[in-house]
Structure 1
Amino acid sequence: KVESGKLFVEKHVGKIGSSILNSQFSTLNSHIALGHTRWATHGGVTRANAHPHLDCSGQIAVVHNGIVENFQDLKDELSGKGHKFISETDTEVIPHLIEEFLKKEGFASAVRDTFNKLKGLNAIVVMSSQSSEIIAAKNGSPLVAGIGKEEFFIASDAVGIVKHTKKVVFIEDNQMAILGNGLKLIALPKGQVIKPAFHNIDWKFEETEKGQFKHFFLKEIYEQPKVLENIAINSGGTIQKIADLIKKAFGTFFVACGSASYSALAGTYLFSKLAKKHVNFAIGSEFNYLEDYIGKGTLVIPISQSGESVDVIQPVVRAKEKGAKIAGIINTLGSTLYRESDFKMLLGAGPEKAVVATKSLTAMMATMILIAYSLIKKQKLGQSLVLRSAKDVREILGGTYIGKIKKVARLLKNKEHIYVIGRGLAYATALEATLKLKEAAYIHAEGFPGGELKHGVIALIDRGTPCIVFAPNDETYDEVISNAQEISARGGYIIGVGPRNNRVFDKWLETGDCGEATMIPQIVIAQLLAYYLALERGIKDPDKPRNLAKSVTVK
């Protein structure tokens, strides 16, 4: 904060929200402030490495997202000029560079010239004890400015400011925003003034609050029936347009990371099975090793909750440069992927505050089902399956089912390993369930196709080893049950998830039979199991798993 021409700084190490500000800092009479939560890239998780970082004079404060790729060269240059560094971070070179430029120019020009020297994908926000303005600049890492009644905000995500205002400006790459008596937008590197484009965020503040729930993770699980119904009923026209683009394309690529990648994998199975249509799928960070095939007739479909994952944005930008058309499936209006897409579909899942993906993922799965059925002109059948899955999820969440899941969580809480299998669409389900167990409950889990058991994994099975078997009532049922029997014969403990019980299951978690959409209630069961397993294992805040961030904006 700034008060009476002096910077006041407070830093802590620990869980977000767990630190208590000292009384002096909390009562400062200040109208300008910066806050930051650091995801470590350069340097350990220490108070010295926490943001903001200051210059030698203590008059410039900087918070930063991204990686300054040339920080060592800049640090050596600045050290040669007498600057002293107290952290291990790349960020600390930024306030010292600004300090150097301030010797010959004003605050805004110094920030502009500093940002122009940084290599890599970065976003910075800067304040000075000698100025009433905050200055922000970005290249590749997200920034959004909010405009209130008599106040301005800057954040990396609109969710962070929707409590205060719904009127925002999405800062584009190579732009600088000056917030003071108004909002001034500058084009980099030269500094021409440009007209900002204002947007209204339609999220309700209540959607960003926990309400009656202890955690956002659980709240967002319970929001899924409504999200699924909304997609099934209201997205028909948009879904059909994506299906038409796929039909016309000379090659289609899905690009995604994390949970979204499993929806893309499910899409490849759905399109093959229903529409006899081959689509390619690549993890975002691996796409650049597969992009030689991309050309003018190619359709690239990025799938993302935040729309800000750098591992998806970069291949999309490269694909556009090669002439590909981009059809984005995104949950966040105005995000970078939203703006980069030639055609966009908003998932409409609403803000997702927990780091662990829940409603955004099932929305993506539902979208894949609807597109696949639209490709064969049976969209109404796809809608009916998604609506059936929404009803099944509501029944799982509304009855005595939760008690069954809690019992399974108690059985698993002291286990070191959990193995998860499925075939076909259920393989994608198995991978998603595995990720949830790792993220939320900090337990080693491994998901793989049932047929891969005999190719090595079965060596890890011994008496009492827990194995979750996803067994939808489809063409894969008999074979995955055979795989479960192989596990049982070696002493494994089988937890079956699906519409049909089987004598090989030691525990059975029942779902309705929703056709291809059976994977949706199966995934919700996995989400609930991960949540209650996290609580059983003493994890106090499953909303914020250690070492993870909601939006991965660094490479």
Structure 2
Amino acid sequence: MCGIVGYIGQRHVVPILLEGLKRLEYRGYDSAGVVYVHGGKLQKYRAAGKLGKLEELLETVRDRDSHIGLGHTRWATHGAPSELNAHPHCDCSGDLVVVHNGIIENYHTLREELQGRGHVFCSETDTEVLAHLIEEHLGGGDLVKAVRQALKKVEGSYAIGVLWAGQPDRLVAVRNQSPLVLGIAEGGGCLMASDIPALLPYTNQVVFLEDRELAVLKQGEWQVMGLGNGRKVVKEIKTIEWNAAMAEKAGYRHFMLKEIFEQPQAILNTFRGRLDPETGKVQLPEIGLNAVELKKISRISLVACGTSWHAALVAKYWLEKWVGIPVEVDIASEFRYRRLLLDETVMVVPISQSGETADTLAGLRLAKKMGAKVIAICNVLGSTITREAHGTIYTHAGPEIGVASTKAFTCQLTALLLLTLFLGEVRKTMSAKNRKAIGHALLELPALMEQELPRLQEETARIAEAFTHSRDFLYLGRGSNFPIALEGALKLKEISYIHAEGYAAGELKHGPIALIDRDMPVLALAPKDSVYEKVISNVEEVKARNGRIILVANAGDKNCRRIAEQVITVPLCHEELNPILFVVPLQLLAYEIANLRGCDVDQPRNLAKSVTVE
């Protein structure tokens, strides 16, 4: 979600930091900054916007001779993109700086405590509390000890780099649930970075930090220790053989595949700090509406385009079932062109990955004008939609570079499920038992998904070979998995250019069944849920007409092999989470087919990542 670079050695540091940040700009690109030691003092430069703005600023700086420093490129999570919110962040004295990737969950509490003790804050970020916490423990003159003591109070995920003018011969790096890797260069240089691409111009010898490990980098030496106990940790230096293009993708062939595999962490980031693991209760302070206002809501209107519209369709099932409130789902480009019945009792929820989708933004503005309460679901902090909505539920998917959305979609589903649990609690429509069951299942989902992804890729790669030359596809689903059938068909269309349609399985006999033959593969979603028997009956209708069937079903389902030519199995989970889990093999199947067909997976023809025109 952000990019960190650090260097200490014999070379001039500023060019190294800038080159490293260029190679990490895909991780974040709304602001950037560097800091280095010159004349015994820290020199800090920051700029809002893409990295070019920082480069222009540094071209005007004369005193750039330094051999130690840190750099950062930001993907905003706390505080809008601006120079003040850009990293590095410093303590009250300005002698200590921190760069950070991750989310400090308890930063509100820490900030209030620090302000109560006289600390003055200059930004809206969660990161700045780290600098002030470390400052409080620097009395002994030991930076490593101060960092360890400060982080005892911190909850959340972080990869951090720390530089202090009081000990200008070292950098301190710490990892916890956010990536950080060290580079060991010839001539005694040591580097740190969020990802390998930043290191490759200088070394292919790397050390991967694990969670709760702290590293000290000096000229010609480095050491890793446990964050909690301070004991030395023996680390293996590994040789990286990727080329630069592969490195940006962390060894994956395409960004899309990388982003599919990033989904467990992205989902975890989206519910982390919001979902109580004990009770299943959800906290959404950024929603912008109080309990009284939420109880007055009589109807919810979900507005979105493309993949986000499919997320909205899934949420309709959740919200109506657990909140007991009527829900409408509109394609944003059609929303304004009918007679809208909106007032202050209607909650309008625009959903957009970029926060700049023109049709969705236009619908938001009209809804506000008519008096509706607007709560956005978005991945980009400070985007137009988030600025104009009354409140926002941010998805913490991080940058999504592949045009075909994957992790942004599953994070939207996660955010919409959190909204469902939150409204069910506020409006007293959901029992504590059900809320806790769904909440616990969501907590377990990232680990389950991470465990299954390698196997699912193998299965879908094998199956894809049999359908590479298909011209048409039919996707079937029922209930909350009907929108997942639509999403699966969309993914195949987007990146493989195969014509595909998604249908509610019960609609098969009302027309589409006429298309069934050996040239029309049919993919059906059949989780063990309340409509399982109905879906199996619909699949039997395809089988009776000699159709080619791919069945996505739960592991252990004995019907699968009897009915289908190909089977993809998915672990059993809580019924409400099936849409999030079942979309993963559909993403992978589309990817594998497109890859075999030689298509440009990351940048399919005629498409753009953010549709900012109507």
Count of residues in correspondence between the two structures: 378
Aligned twin of 1:532: 592
Aligned twin of 1:510: 569
CA RMSD of aligned residues (A): 3.0
Is 1:213 the counterpart of 2:252? The answer is yes
Note the alpha carbon deviations across 1:86-114, whole angstroms, 9 max, x for none.
Answer: xxxxxxxxxxxxxxxxxxxxxxxxxxxxx
Alignment check: 8 A CA contact 2:300 2:325 kept: no
Aligned twin of 1:231: 270
For residues 467 and 486 of structure 2, the distance between their equivalents in structure 1, rounded to whole angstroms, comes to 18
In 2 relative to 1, CA 229–200 (structure 1 residues): closer, same or farther, beyond 3 Å? closer
CA positional deviation for 1:198: 9.2
Aligned twin of 2:515: 460
Which of 337, 359, 373 is equivalent to 1:311?
359
CA positional deviation for 1:234: 2.1
CA positional deviation for 1:280: 1.1
Aligned twin of 1:477: 532
SS in 2 for 1:446: strand
In 2 relative to 1, CA 150–464 (structure 1 residues): closer, same or farther, beyond 3 Å? closer
For residues 403 and 230 of structure 1, the distance between their equivalents in structure 2, rounded to whole angstroms, comes to 26
Alignment check: 8 A CA contact 1:327 1:343 kept: yes
User: 1:366-515 counterparts in 2 under 5 A?
Assistant: 366-374=414-422, 375=424, 376=430, 378=432, 379-398=435-454, 400-499=455-554, 500-502=557-559, 503-514=562-573, 515=575
Alignment check: 8 A CA contact 2:486 2:502 kept: yes
For residues 558 and 411 of structure 2, the distance between their equivalents in structure 1, rounded to whole angstroms, comes to 27
In 2 relative to 1, CA 164–517 (structure 1 residues): closer, same or farther, beyond 3 Å? closer
Structure 2: which amino acid aligns with 1:472?
A: P
User: 1:24-43 counterparts in 2 under 5 A?
Assistant: none
In 2 relative to 1, CA 150–342 (structure 1 residues): closer, same or farther, beyond 3 Å? same
For residues 534 and 341 of structure 2, the distance between their equivalents in structure 1, rounded to whole angstroms, comes to 35
For residues 73 and 551 of structure 2, the distance between their equivalents in structure 1, rounded to whole angstroms, comes to 42
Structure 2: which amino acid aligns with 1:544?
A: Q
Alignment check: 8 A CA contact 2:314 2:579 kept: no
Alignment check: 8 A CA contact 2:394 2:415 kept: no
Alignment check: 8 A CA contact 2:393 2:415 kept: no
CA positional deviation for 1:145: 7.0
Alignment check: 8 A CA contact 2:75 2:399 kept: no
SS in 2 for 1:303: strand
For residues 563 and 385 of structure 2, the distance between their equivalents in structure 1, rounded to whole angstroms, comes to 45
Aligned twin of 2:602: 543
SS in 2 for 1:320: helix
Which of 569, 582, 605 is equivalent to 1:522?
582
User: 1:160-179 counterparts in 2 under 5 A?
Assistant: 163=73, 168-169=81-82
Range 367-376 or range 543-552, more displaced: 367-376
Stretches of structure 1 that go unaligned for 5 or more consecutive residues are 1-142, 154-161, 171-196
Note the alpha carbon deviations across 1:309-345, whole angstroms, 9 max, x for none.
Answer: 0010001011111111111111000001010111111
Aligned twin of 1:151: 57
In 2 relative to 1, CA 492–293 (structure 1 residues): closer, same or farther, beyond 3 Å? same
In 2 relative to 1, CA 501–371 (structure 1 residues): closer, same or farther, beyond 3 Å? farther
Q: Provide the TM-score with structure 1 as the length reference.
A: 0.63
Which of 268, 287, 301 is equivalent to 2:349?
301
Aligned twin of 1:552: 611
Structure 1: which amino acid aligns with 2:272?
A: I
Alignment check: 8 A CA contact 1:253 1:299 kept: yes
CA positional deviation for 1:383: 2.2
SS in 2 for 1:249: coil
Aligned twin of 2:405: 357
Which of 343, 346, 354 is equivalent to 2:394?
346
Structure 1: which amino acid aligns with 2:531?
A: T
SS in 1 for 2:301: strand
Alignment check: 8 A CA contact 2:473 2:520 kept: yes
Stretches of structure 2 that go unaligned for 5 or more consecutive residues are 1-47, 60-71, 84-121, 128-157, 160-192, 198-247, 275-281, 425-429
SS in 1 for 2:465: helix
Structure 1: which amino acid aligns with 2:589?
A: L
For residues 264 and 377 of structure 1, the distance between their equivalents in structure 2, rounded to whole angstroms, comes to 23
SS in 2 for 1:491: coil
In 2 relative to 1, CA 246–282 (structure 1 residues): closer, same or farther, beyond 3 Å? farther
In 2 relative to 1, CA 318–206 (structure 1 residues): closer, same or farther, beyond 3 Å? farther
SS in 2 for 1:148: helix
Aligned twin of 2:205: none
For residues 539 and 565 of structure 2, the distance between their equivalents in structure 1, rounded to whole angstroms, comes to 11
In 2 relative to 1, CA 164–521 (structure 1 residues): closer, same or farther, beyond 3 Å? closer
Alignment check: 8 A CA contact 1:225 1:390 kept: yes
CA positional deviation for 1:214: 1.9
